[in-house]
Structure 1
Amino acid sequence: MPGPDTDHADTAPVPTPRPSASRDDEVPRTRTDRPITHLTAHTAEQPSPYDLPHGPLVTLFREAGTTGKVNEVLRLLAAAADLRDPPAGASPTPRRTFFADGPVGPALVCFPSLIAPAHAYQYARFATAFRERRGLLVLAPSGYTCGEPLPATLREFIDCQVTALRDSYLGDRPPVLVGHSSGGWVAHAIAEALAQQGTPPTGVVLLDTFLPDSPELSALQTGLFATLAETAGIAELTTESALSAMGRHHTLFRNWRPGATVGPTLLVRATDALNTITPNAAVPELSWPTRHEAINVPGNHLTMMSTFGPTTGRSVESWLSGQGPEQQS
């Protein structure tokens, strides 16, 4: 997810998402079913009020960062999701975007943070590390754009993600699942589902992922909400639909905890604190309850994927091609 730049940014060119001749859902689209070529909330001639970057939910989102009442706001956003009319007969199929391709396996399947707008483009700079080397697919959750259905249960959400993953040709080897922030919950939950079906992933990469409802996550979210609400390019995508979807997905994962180890797992930790609210704040302690390796990368929770995204990607690539799952397969 884009974050503020610093004076020492990686300067690798950002890859353009690759459309597929055989699929029409690998390029981001609006609910009018027309491809979009730039970051915008909605391109319909008469956009729904739920897809505009203003309204009571957006106001609550922005105030959460200054008041610190993140959990209370999340509960209100979840209640708003309950009022949305589900599209008849539609399933919450994730949106697919390919950012990289290459001859080396395994491919990466990446899951965005569940914080609005949960957009595939948070992996754009990270993906530069894998261009022309290995495939990189992003599965963005349904419901963050007006007209898209929301999952009713965690099981429905995971099943739809697994189906989309299996429907995407990713080579002969099981992929590595990657999740940033709360996207790490998604990656680990899907890894468990695949393992239960007898097809575990090659590995799991958790990018600065904290456990749901942990004190460390609560401390992080206050600064995160404040930053994202004012970040150019993100504020425009943070619509009423996206915020209610965020409330629903956080509710689904509220009581989730990782189960058994699902194969080689890498925990990637940001080395800098998100100092939006408290200057000189300490970096929240990051741990994971299942067996894993851990590395540190430059940047904070946001800039590790934006400013330092290519560096984070190269660190993951080093693990994959060195002592990680490629050496254990």
Structure 2
Amino acid sequence: MATLVEHSLDDENITITHTLDSRHGEGRTVERALAVLDACGVEITPPATTITATAVVPPTYPFQHQNYWLTLTNDAGHLRVIDEALSSVQDAGTVQSAAARYAEMDPHEREAAFTDLVIDEIGRVLGNTSSETVAPGAGLLELGLNSLTVTELRSRLKRATELDLTALRVLESPTVVDLVQVLVVSYEEQKGELRSASGSTRGEGTLTDLTRQAHEDGLLHKAIEMLIEVSRFRTSSDRPEVTARPATVVPIVSEGEGPHIFCVPSFVVGSGPHQFARLARAFPAPRRVSALVLPGQRGGDRIPDSWESAVDALTRAVRLAADGAPIVLVGYSSGGIVARAIVEQLEREGDGPVGVALLDSYPLTEEQAHRVFSVVTGQLLEEQKVVIDDPALLSMGLYLRLFPEWKPGEIDASALLIRADRPLDPSLDGLDPTPWRLPDRILEVPGDHFSIIDQHVVHTASALDRWLHCLGDRTPGA
């Protein structure tokens, strides 16, 4: 929520901080939030007492009145939390005075300085991570960052560099190196050395405004058609060294049992590897999990000129990252279409995966896809589940235009369909619930289309885990 609120406000004088953090207790997190506000110049009167929480037994019947609020206590240990938080934020603030020195550096020195800054700040945000353990090629999700800590990292980097960074640009950076490049490009844009591709400091732009207006007017299906047509004008590089580049793989959990799991995001707006951070850590025992970035899904990516070229880039990325290990593909929503296409190509090339799991995926005709994406995009706009900008909308339009080129064939890999027990939307009744052919196994889990990888993800992970154990006898070396 902090990310969404921050992204929706133009006023640079507003300071936003979070008061919920799974890494710490409620009392400590609230105290730290007050300290952050104080250090950022918000007038705060520190309480003489501090906040602590006490475990209680919930009421056993309605109207059993008890006090379940946080209570105050004179605890010197909690007072130290405020001092530590103030020191942490003020330390970041002192770096701000050094921002002018970036202008005196040549591009290579500036990039090296940004690299050191990013590594140091990631260590501070994670709290228990030494900067020496953060490698430049490390994945942000693999290090343990999430949408909450990314907001804090973005704020620290913005103070240190005086760059107008959005949380979305930070969140979309798969690795430390990618985040450094975001700083480099942002610096060049802000200093006038490059012109921003969107022309908007918030990264939204004309298409976003038109799509929001179309939704308010009940014409979102027309906006989807517009995005599909406009995507034709996204230029694709014809340089061989660019077109031959595999897609990006983002490690989430590097060590674990069983096959290497590759998660494929939907191509609906706002999707990406970050969707699988909770799933990857919800398995009963650690499993090796990575996520793919669809070519063209991030601003500045190579734009595929056909469905075949997109699938080829993804397939090569999976094969290289697996490095001979058994492979399982997991596709969420329309990512199931992409996952299925990757399986077909891997099998044609003789490197077939042991299985493919589809998370609430539906086989869609071109007409049905337009209808489904109108409904899903409308829900995302209404509930503000994701941050939306022009590049994300164009990426969605691109894949909606390309996917009808795919003609599904037969596969040998074991197939699982995990279906949410609540339908995607009543208006979508009549969609075929079994993709392309009857899967070997269908499991239903609690939740809706969105919550099965969010608040109900533990049920999804458990279902996947049971199926993966059943695949054991098909996994080489098992």
Under a length normalisation based on structure 2, what TM-score does the superposition of the two structures give? 0.56
Count of residue pairs brought into register by the alignment: 301
8 A contact 2:269–2:393 mirrored in 1: yes
User: What residue is the counterpart of 1:49 in the other structure?
Assistant: 198
| Letter in structure 1 aligned against 2:373 | Q
Higher relative helix content: 2
Instruction: Give the aligned partner of residue 8 of structure 1.
Output: none
The structure with the larger Rg is 2
2:455 is matched with 307
Residue 128 and residue 25 in structure 1: after superposition, are their counterparts in 2 closer, same or farther (change >3 A)? closer
Q: Shift in Å at residue 53 of structure 1?
A: 4.5
Matched with 1:197 is 349
What amino acid is the match of 1:55? G
- Of 379, 397, 407, the match for 1:227: 379
Q: Counterpart in 2 of 1:6?
A: none
| Structure 2 counterpart of 1:62, from 199, 212, 232 | 212
Residues 210-247 of structure 1, C-alpha deviation per residue, up to 9 Å, x if partnerless?
11327765554333111212444612xx2111111111
Match of 2:104 in 1: none
Question: Take 2:307 and 2:377, find their aligned partners in 1: how far apart are those partners?
Answer: 24
- Where does residue 168 of structure 2 map in the other structure? 40
Q: Please give the per-residue CA displacement for 1:158-217, whole angstroms capped at 9, x wherever unaligned.
A: 1111111122145x5321001001100110000000000111111000111111327765
Residue aligned with 1:301, SS = coil
Q: Deviations over 1:280-321 (max 9, x none)?
A: x86965112224111111111111111112221121111111
Match of 1:138 in 2: 291
**Cα distance in 2 between the residues matched to 1:93 and 1:118:** 19
Letter in 1 for 2:437: T
Q: Any conservation in 1 of the 2:343–2:356 contact (CA below 8 Å)?
A: yes
1:116 pairs with 266, 269, 286, which one? 269
* Paired residues of 1:64 and 1:222 also in contact (CA < 8 A): no
User: Structure 2: how far apart are the matches of 1:296 and 1:124?
Assistant: 21
CA separation of 1:69 and 1:327: change in aligned 2, threshold 3 A:
farther
Over 3 Å counting, the alpha-carbon distance change for 1:310 and 1:216 in structure 2 is: farther
Query: 2:310 is paired with a residue of what secondary structure?
Result: helix
On the 8 A contact 1:87/1:149 being kept in 2, the answer is yes
| Counterpart position of 2:305 | 152
Is the contact between residue 78 and residue 248 of structure 1 (CA under 8 Å) also seen in structure 2?
yes
Does the 8 Å contact 1:176/1:201 carry over to 2?
A: yes
Letter in 2 for 1:62: R
The corresponding residue for 2:333 is 181
- The answer on 1:294 being equivalent to 2:433 is no
Aligned to 1:82: 232
- Find 1:24's aligned residue among 125, 132, 137: 137
CA contact (8 A) 1:126 1:305 kept: yes
Report the counterpart of residue 31 of structure 1 in structure 2.
none
Aligned partners of 1:314, 1:288: CA distance in 2, in Å? 22
* Alignment check: 8 A CA contact 2:269 2:377 kept: no
Structure 1 residue ranges, 4+ long, deviating more than 6 angstroms after superposition: 20-23
- In 2 relative to 1, CA 146–61 (structure 1 residues): closer, same or farther, beyond 3 Å? same
* Structure 1 unmatched ranges of 5 or more: 1-10, 29-35
1:304 and 1:50, CA in 2 relative to 1: closer, same or farther beyond 3 A?
A: farther
Structure having greater relative contact order (Cα 8 Å, sep ≥ 6): 1
1:120-176 deviation line (CA, Å, top 9, x unaligned): 111111112238622101001122332212100111111111111122145x53210
Q: Distance in 1 between matches of 2:370 and 2:238?
A: 36
Once the two structures are superposed, residues 53-95 of structure 1 have per-residue CA deviations (whole angstroms, 9 ceiling, x without a partner) of 4333213433555566555433321322222233563236433
Alpha-carbon distance between aligned partners in 2 of 1:251 and 1:204, rounded to the nearest angstrom: 24
* RMSD, aligned CA: 3.4
Between the aligned partners of 1:225 and 1:147, the Cα distance in structure 2 is 23
